[in-house]
Amino acid sequence: MSIQVVYAIVKAGGRQEKVSVGDVVVVDKLPGEIGDEVSLAPVMLVDGDKVTTAADLASTSVTAEIVGDEKGPKINILKFKNKTGYRRRQGHRAQLTAIRIKAIG
């Protein structure tokens, strides 16, 4: 009795994520509204024992639905130099999008 494992490695926002159907993944901000469909380019596709890499994936895509927008954790950037009065404080919070994978193929 073997379980058919299907997942894909997709490129989203400068990073690569391992996804399968039904997963909710948080990626960098994508244009679109909640409920819109987006297409992601797969880098690798695993279907059971068969592994497909970049050359054969030209016609394959991963479709996902935008679930919502989120914000990443607050990052505090502090710069300080002793005895000179130099102090700088800066903050950053990344804009993210949560997507649900609908289909691989």
**pLDDT tens, position by position, 40-72:** 988 888 887 788 877 777 788 899 999 999 999
Task: Name residue 30's amino acid.
Answer: L
pLDDT value at residue 23: 93
pTM for this entry = 0.80
Count CB neighbours of 62 within 10 A.
Answer: 26
Computed over every residue of the chain, the mean pLDDT equals 90
Closest CA to 23 of 98, 105, 100: 100
Check whether 1 has a pLDDT greater than 80: no
